[in-house]
Structure 1
């Protein structure tokens, strides 16, 4: 009962501020203030305020919050350990395709002959260096 009264007073004060803002012809700001002013009453009516107050003073709830925090910490540390090892799922997908699969083309657009292996990829290497890869 006390929670509902306090939230109603808080909302009434916020609506009073919204009225004063609207008097100055700042209607958009007044609507925002009114929206925020109605939140305490809405939360009190749904029971969220009582739930939060009961959770705040409950040691079991704090222990559960600690367990959730530990689980998040373990999950993040596992991701870091996997990343340092170098064998993550994202690394294999992020690597570019091997240049050997692409045929090297010479000036006229014809594929290069297979005689010079290092010269076949010189154009591709130049393009990759140009883009910083």
Structure 2
């Protein structure tokens, strides 16, 4: 009973606001406000408000909402695990199968294809570093890291 009264009052207030808005010649906004303000009365007339009011005070309904929340949490957790692992089990198997089949073709690729885009080692400063072009690239990377660590006293 009280829910129906509240819904009617909200609708009446909304229609009043819509009338004031239409008086200010903002007809588009007034029609939208009127549409929103008719929703509570429509819900009362269809019986939804009575059903919600009856459901809100039943402990079994609250237990049902808790179970829905738990189910949603489980779905979210499994989705997060799938993302961390790289997809579902079926997708991981397909990727592993493709990697096994593609491993023979990958060996046939040119060794230069996997080299960094910067070129040979020591080419950053125009080759004036004094290192030979045949020095491994990883040595240069580690020396840069060591210099940074020494700079910060680590």
- Which TM-score band applies after superposition, normalised by the shorter structure? 0.5 to 0.7
Judge which range, 84-93 or 10-19, deviates more.
84-93
What CA deviation, in whole Å up to 9, does each residue of 1:63-121 have, x standing for no partner? Answer: 0111111122222223334444456245556x8994938xxxxxxxxxxxxxx944288
- Is 1:80 aligned with 2:71? no
Q: Quote how far apart the aligned CAs of 1:58 are.
A: 0.9
Residue correspondences, number: 110
Q: Quote how far apart the aligned CAs of 1:15 are.
A: 0.7
Alpha-carbon spacing, 1:121–1:90, altered in 2? closer, same or farther (3 Å): farther
The alignment's TM-score, normalised by the length of structure 2, stands at 0.56
Q: Tell me how far apart the structure 2 counterparts of residues 17 and 86 of structure 1 sit (CA, whole Å).
A: 53
After TM superposition, list the pairs within 5 Å mapping 1:1-133 onto structure 2: 1-86=1-86, 88=88, 89-90=90-91, 92=94, 98=102, 100=105, 117-119=108-110, 122=113
The alignment's TM-score, normalised by the length of structure 1, stands at 0.64
Alpha-carbon spacing, 1:4–1:87, altered in 2? closer, same or farther (3 Å): closer
Q: Tell me how far apart the structure 2 counterparts of residues 46 and 68 of structure 1 sit (CA, whole Å).
A: 25
CA RMSD of aligned residues (A): 3.3
Higher relative contact order (CA 8 A, sep 6+): 1
Q: Quote how far apart the aligned CAs of 1:18 are.
A: 0.5
Q: Which has the larger radius of gyration?
A: 2
SS at match of 1:17: helix
Alpha-carbon spacing, 1:51–1:121, altered in 2? closer, same or farther (3 Å): farther
Any unmatched runs of 5+ in structure 2?
Answer: 118-154
